[in-house]
Structures are given as C-alpha cells and as structure tokens.
Structure 1
C-alpha cells in the first residue's frame, strides 16, 4: 500500500477510544499523515487552515454536547462554506441502525459510508474504492476547479464512455454543470433521459430544480409534491418545494412544507432560519419566534455564528408585542457576539426597531444613523430592511446611502432592480431615479479608469473595472461594448479564460437583443470567433 503513504487524513470523532482505533487501522493501511478533531468546531478550524485527501467523520458528533450537530450537518456546513472541494474524500462512519435514516435524508451525500464495527481491511477497501472513483473523476473535477464548466462537460462525456460503471454519476454532474451555466434546457433533457430509464430520486429533484430555474414553479411544485410523497426523507425536495410555493404566492403552504422538513430533520440551521423567515412573512409569529430561537441556540456552538439571527428573533418578538423579551435578546446579542464585526450594526438596528415599537422617534433616528454608519458588512437582505426603516423615518439620504452600498457590493447577490424597488414600493420613485443616475455616473467613471488601465497594458484590471461598471449599470450598452472588448483583449494577450469567455458570450447576446445593428457588434463577434479558433475552442 505504498501509494497510501502520501495521503493526508483528518479523523473527526469525539470518542478517544475510537480515534485511537482509527489511528491504528490507518497506520496498518500505510497511512501516517493523520490529524484529529474532537468536534465539528475543531474540524472547521483545521479545515480553514489546510485541506486533506480524506476525512473520516463519525456521524454522531454530539457525545453529550448541546450543539445537536451530527456528521451530516457538518458535511453540509463544510460544502456550503466551501471548506472542502470535490477532490476531498469524505467517508461517514455510522452504525447500521442509523445508516438507513442517514442515507435517505442526506441532502449532500458523502463519498461513502462505512458501518461499525469494521476491520482494517474493510476500511482500506473503502479508501481504495474512493481513491479509484476520485481518479476517474479527476479530469472533470480539475476543470471545474479552474472554472471551466464547458470543458468539464466534455470531460464527463468522455468519462461516461470510458467508465460505464460511473455513467449515472457523470450524467448527473453534466446536468449540474449545464445548470450552472444557466443552460436549463440541456439539463432538463439529461434528467429526462435518466427518468425515462429509471425513476431516480436525484434526477427528479434535478429536473424540478431546472424547472424552477426557468420560473416554471407550478410544474416544479407538482413534481416535488410527488417526490416527497415517494421519498419522504429527501430533505432538499422540501426546501425547493417551499421556495416554489413562496414564488407562486402561497406563503402558508411554503411554511407547511418547511415545517414537514424540520419535523424530519430538526437540526439544520439554514432550514430553521428559512422557516422563521417564511413564517414571519405569513404572519405566523409563534412559529417565527420558535424557529429563530432555535437558530440562535444552535448557532451558539457553530463556527459560523451570525448576529443577524438575533435581529430576526428580535423582529418576531417586536411584532408579537413582547418588548421585554426583545430587549433581553438585544442584551444577549451584545454580550454573546462581542467582537463580531457586524454586532454593532445589528444591535443598533434592533434598538431602532424596539424604539419604533415603543414610540421613541428620537431614539429611532439615533439608532438608524448608528446602524448605517456601522453596517458595511451586513447582508444585502438586512441592508434593504435597514433602508426601508430609514425611508419610514424620512431619512431619505441614509436610505439612498444604504441602497447604493448594497448595489456596490457585487457579492451581495442583490440586483440594481431589486435594490431600487425598495424606493418604488415605498412610493418614492424619485429616489430610485436619483440612485440610478448616481450609478450611471459611477459606471462612466469606471469606463474612464478602464481606458487608462488598458493604455497601461493592465488588461485584467480593465476587465475587472468594466465588470464592476456593468454590475452598477446592467443595461448600459456602452459599458457592455467596452467590457466585451476588454475581455477579448485579455484573452488574446493572456490566454483562454473560460469564465470570462462565458461572460463575453452572454454580453454579446444581450447587445444583439438591444441593438442588432450596432456598428461594434460584428467586430466583437468576429474577435470572439477568432479567439475560440486560436485556442482550439471552436468545436
């Protein structure tokens, strides 16, 4: 087993006897580079510093602790926060009695499971099988890591032909890659072909996702209703069904779908948070309060604590009219999350909501000003809520400041239209127009900066600046023309960049729709075709 000598392994298990046993087994399997973690928290800290080839994780991580997190939830946290990638082998260790529950409810599956008790040979066999699978998928995984989804799809086609044993997994990966490129029709065809041969739960869920991405929410919801009836522990189906119901204007049914999921899998913090949000929207304050309380309690033991969870709980309590409890949660927020960079902003916003509920207008203004000053790191969703509160208190300048900060944060996930709709819904279209004019001016400034960077030979800098300009002014034709041209110059000078090429192709399509006779369009199309030919991408 000489090939095992260079493998790095992280063992996650709270039981010292089991850790020692696994150490012995791994040593006998010629694996010596072994680290240990005794809880989900210590595992997350270690994985934030370095990566491992293999993670062996005990399913039952509680061992008397109060966090309630198990190995499956840890896996989902690690994937959600991108602490492990596709190349990491994650093997879950569980008992036979728990396995049937785990495997049916798993939302993100491990590479493999191993049932206790097991021998050295059994463990070595699982590792060998996982390494074989990784080698088969390695070309596709490497291309995905390089943001080259298009070539990864081609690699999957080749892998499917070369390794028929893994054909279903390659088809699944291909469909997910098409979806990541917003090629939902292609993904839909692949899922449909799988389902024509076998009613696989993952393919039904994937098909529902593609339908939802195409805003065919009624079709997706009907498919998901049947799916959860046939597979009542396929948790991701409940989450997607809830979103579809929410999008079709049925908040009560959306809440019910999430409640069903929480009843089966009660520890997933992100689902509890979403249940609280949906219940708050539906006016079910009791469920909203209960959900947010659970989120705050469970997150207390997480490495990913977020003071915005306290804000959600405080909002539910204020709407219930429980000012005393809301005040207590504000004090807990200040005490338990001291040192978090967003705590001051969350505390100020919470105090503003409480002051508004108690009729203290002066305090509302003071705290809103404080929240805006300290709120640079807040999520886009909470910033928009802060902007709405500023508007309600006639703090128009502060509201505009917050909306502009959301739009200028490309990572917020909030579009210009979504952000400015805050003003429109508040009956202030004048403020929306004012913000759009400021954004147009900012985009023009970036155009000028990009021109200087291009003249200095900084092609990458010019592209980044122009993509920022496009985010600020998405329908701005001169910005798109300049951005597409800058991308093509960078590709010509520095080599093919798959993600940028996809950006460029999308912009050319948009330009064609806005002005098919634009004098620059033919030149850009020719340059794009020439770049594809130059780097062997024409096929």
Structure 2
C-alpha cells in the first residue's frame, strides 16, 4: 500500500480506548504520523476548532452526548472542516434507521465495524483523491464564483478522470440548475440515467421542474423516484416542498411522516412534521414530533427554544396547562440566560394566565414580554413577534398589536407561507381577515415601488432608483423581492456602465444580505453567475 497519509492531520473520534488504539495502529501501517484522538463529541469539536484536519474518523455511537452524525452536522455548521477534509462515520450497528440517519448527514463514507487496514486504505485513497481533484470547484462555489466553478468542472470533464467522472457530472448538473441553465442540467441527468439508474439523477430532474415552476411535473418525478428508490430520503424532502408550494398541508404531513418513519433521528424533519401537523390540527402527531424534536435537540446544533414553546403552546390549546408550564420550566433550565427563551416563555405565560382568568398576572407577563422584545431590537424572530401580537390582541392592546403586525407584514410581504401564519393567528383570536387590507395594500405598494425603481433605472437614473430601493429597505429590511431587484439593477449597471470597486463592493454587500435573509440559492444562482463573470473581467483587466 502506498503512503497516502504521510503529513496528513488525522482525528480519531472513538469512546472506547481499545478501538482508538486499533484504528491508530491501522493508520500507522498507512504511514500516518499526525494523529489526534478524542473520546467524545465535544472534545472532537474542540480539536477541530484548533486543527484543520485532513481526515476525521468518527464513531457513530460515542456514549453520552453527541453522536457522530451530530458531530458532523455541527462541524459543518461551524465551518470546522474544510472541503479537503474526508469525514468517515464508523459504526457497528447496522439497523436501517441508524444507517439512514448517519448517511442523511452526508459523510464522505460510512464504514462498518469490524474493518481492517486494507479496507480503510481503499476508502481513504478514494476520497482523498476525489477531494484533491474537486477541491477547486467547491472553493469557487463557496466564494460565489459560479462561472469559474463551471469552467473548472468542464475542464476536468474534458480530462481523463474516469474515477470521478460521475461526481463531476453531478456537480456540473447541479451548477447548471443553480444558474438557471435547465437545458444543460436536464441533458446531463438524462445521459446519466441512460447509463445507470441513480436516484440523485432522478431527483435532479424533479428539482429542475420545481425551479421552473412546474409543480405537477416535479411531483411526478419525485413520486416515481420514491416508488423506485423508497429509501432515498431527499426525495421525500423535495416532494414535501412541492406539496407545500401547492398549499397541500395534509400531503406534506403524510410525506414527511414517511421520511421520519425511515429516519427518526432527523431533528429537522421532526420539526417540519410537528409544525405541519400543528397547522392542520393533528394534535397527536404534532405532540409526538415536538417531543422528538426536543429530545433530539439535546445534543444537536439544531437545538432551539422554539421547539419547547411550540410544544407548550400545543398543550395550552388542548387545556393541558400543567404540561405547558412544565415544558416552559424545562426550557428555562436548558436555555439559562437566553433572552429569546425568556421572551418565548413569558409571552406564553401571559396567555396561560389570561386563559385561567388571572388578568393581573397576564398583564404583568405581557408587559415584561414587550420590554424584552424591545431589548432584543430587531433580533426577535418573526414567529415570536406574531405570538406577542396575539398576546396583545387577547389583552385588548390593539394599538401595540397593530404596530408589531404592521412591521411584520411589511417586512415579510413576499413570504406567502408566513402571511398564512398571520391569517391563522388572527382567526384564532376571532379577527379573521382583520389584516387583509393591510396585506393587499402593502403588496400593491411593493409592486409600485419595484415598478418605479425599474422605470427610474431605464431612464438612466441609477442613483434615484437605488435611493428609492434603499428607502424601501429601511422600512422592510428583510424584503427578498427588493434585495433581488437591487441586485439586478446593480449588475445591469456594472455591465452597461463599467466596473469599478465601489459598485463591486455594493453588489457583494447585497449578496451577503441575500444570504442572511435566506433567499433561495436557486433564485440567486443566475445573478451570482453574472457577478462571477464580472469579477473575473475586472481582475483580468487589472492585470493588463
């Protein structure tokens, strides 16, 4: 076996000392010389925060605390591992749910115990070679240089890289879809399927239909995918997205429930199942899923105080006040000194006291909640602001409720799902259609602002157009439509009137804002591609 690990930094994460020693000895036979060990998930993350590892060999079951899947999820979320890092999950248990859960987090490999040095060598050599070759593409994608990523991908596809050809084709098809080049994406996925029935290629065709707005066509692809490959979890996620876009919440619940049955350790799907079941009034399913999310969150990067309060709110609606209060007490214990958790608890306590007829205590809790909301400034999550507005309506503080609601509607006027949440909230306090005029007027005002801004730009009044949008953003800071239009105008100005440093910085700031407010990356893909090309032209011009 050739020396593939000399000079590579390696982390072994294993709670049993004898197994750590066995793996270490295997690595020594492969010429490894830089080995670090961790006996649990927390120590593994600490080690990763200090060293940029080339290889992580992580056991799935690590005893009390985080498991291997949670370590990988947190390492990615916190950017503790780079593109070059090969992350292998090792496990002895082979139950379908555990394997699916481990693979759901997309490690580079899944290695079953027992294994020998030869088997480990094969996995490491394959992944280190692939990572080294594809690393440049991954870096360009992360930087937003999609034109360079596509160019590099095409260059590698033209070369003789048979071992990674399928990986390259997958990346090229995904990049094509991301930038709106649906014809290229379809062509690549179709060619792949002619050679071999790979579930991700079927998925890719469905994603293209979804991004093109053909929900019926997308659903057909995803349904057929799951018929042929019922264990392919991403298919359930995308099919649920289709149904959600069509406002078919019962179908969403059914599909997510199927995925949860296959992989019950997925906290994000449990959250989705709970929220969907809650919206359609399926109390039994919602309670079970909220409890699962709370339990799974104990050692997860996706742990959230909202899971506790959502469960408590469900108890409150079903007149199980004692269970609601116990859940809030547990949340305060888990999230000590967390202002958002305290605000969530206090807001719900106001409603619980109101329901029990204790108006004085309800008033004090609401007053405290409003003060905490003020202290959080613009950091209060939108769902929590909606709860506070609901509390104000219940205590006949309509003025304060309207102020909160008005800001929410203006900021999230292009989020139809959230507007439906607003409508549901108002129906729950006996005020159905109360904000419909405000919603429709705000939508009309947004359309008028966009039309006026585009018109000003077409007249050559770039500064006036941008000033108009900047003014709109001041009152609607998280409005996705305005940010996208500002990006379009900025990029058009760069192409039509020349590139300079100030304009490039403005575009970069807008892309950063777009990511912060979580604009769908597919909506940004084509714009990012344009900007990537402009950046390349600018840097090439600077070299001349």
Q: TM (normalized to structure 1)?
A: 0.76
- Which residue number corresponds to residue 455 of structure 2? none
CA distance in 2, matches of 1:135, 1:170: 13
Equivalences for residues 91-490 of structure 1 within 5 A: 91-95=88-92, 97=94, 102=99, 106-162=103-159, 163-184=161-182, 186-360=184-358, 363=362, 365-375=366-376, 376-390=378-392, 393-397=396-400, 399-401=402-404, 404=407, 422=422, 426-428=433-435, 474-475=481-482, 483-484=490-491
Equivalences for residues 30-41 of structure 1 within 5 A: 30-41=31-42
Distance 1:379 1:128, change over 3 A: same
Distance 1:320 1:48, change over 3 A: farther
CA distance in 2, matches of 1:234, 1:310: 30
CA distance in 2, matches of 1:494, 1:131: 40
CA distance in 1, matches of 2:247, 2:28: 57
Distance 1:51 1:498, change over 3 A: farther
* 1:87 positional shift: 2.4
Q: Secondary structure, in 3 states, of the residue corresponding to 1:4?
A: coil
- Which residue number corresponds to residue 450 of structure 1? none
CA distance in 2, matches of 1:174, 1:58: 32
1:88-128 per-position Cα deviation (integer Å, ceiling 9, x unaligned)? 21122234945997269833432223333333343234322
* Pair 1:492-2:489 in alignment: no
CA distance in 2, matches of 1:159, 1:304: 36
Is 1:352–1:367's contact at 8 Å kept on the other side of the alignment?
no
Distance 1:478 1:123, change over 3 A: closer
1:328-373 per-position Cα deviation (integer Å, ceiling 9, x unaligned)? 1111112221023422222122223423443555515425414523
Q: TM (normalized to structure 2)?
A: 0.75
Task: Kindly tell me the number of residue pairs found equivalent between the two proteins.
Answer: 489
Which of 87, 112, 115 aligns to 2:84? It is 87
CA distance in 2, matches of 1:332, 1:281: 24
CA distance in 2, matches of 1:100, 1:480: 43
Q: Secondary structure, in 3 states, of the residue corresponding to 1:56?
A: strand
Is 1:11–1:19's contact at 8 Å kept on the other side of the alignment?
yes
CA distance in 2, matches of 1:45, 1:312: 32
Distance 1:404 1:276, change over 3 A: same
CA distance in 1, matches of 2:182, 2:393: 39
1:464-511 per-position Cα deviation (integer Å, ceiling 9, x unaligned)? 98996696674599967974478678953389789859979x9xxxxx
CA distance in 1, matches of 2:484, 2:237: 38
Larger relative contact order (Cα-Cα within 8 Å, sequence gap ≥ 6): 2
CA distance in 2, matches of 1:477, 1:51: 35
Comparing 284-293 with 104-113, greater Cα deviation is found at 104-113
Q: Secondary structure, in 3 states, of the residue corresponding to 1:218?
A: helix
CA distance in 1, matches of 2:20, 2:368: 51
Structure 1 gap ranges (5+)? 409-413, 445-454, 456-461, 507-526
* 1:304 positional shift: 4.2
- Which residue number corresponds to residue 513 of structure 1? none
1:8-46 per-position Cα deviation (integer Å, ceiling 9, x unaligned)? 222222222111222232233332332233333433444
Is 1:2–1:30's contact at 8 Å kept on the other side of the alignment?
yes
Distance 1:114 1:531, change over 3 A: closer
CA distance in 1, matches of 2:535, 2:22: 56
* 1:81 positional shift: 5.5
1:168-199 per-position Cα deviation (integer Å, ceiling 9, x unaligned)? 21121122223333555543443233234432
Comparing 82-91 with 267-276, greater Cα deviation is found at 82-91
CA distance in 1, matches of 2:23, 2:503: 47
Is 1:466–1:479's contact at 8 Å kept on the other side of the alignment?
no
Distance 1:378 1:18, change over 3 A: farther
CA distance in 1, matches of 2:291, 2:158: 51
Q: Secondary structure, in 3 states, of the residue corresponding to 1:237?
A: helix
Is 1:218–1:248's contact at 8 Å kept on the other side of the alignment?
no
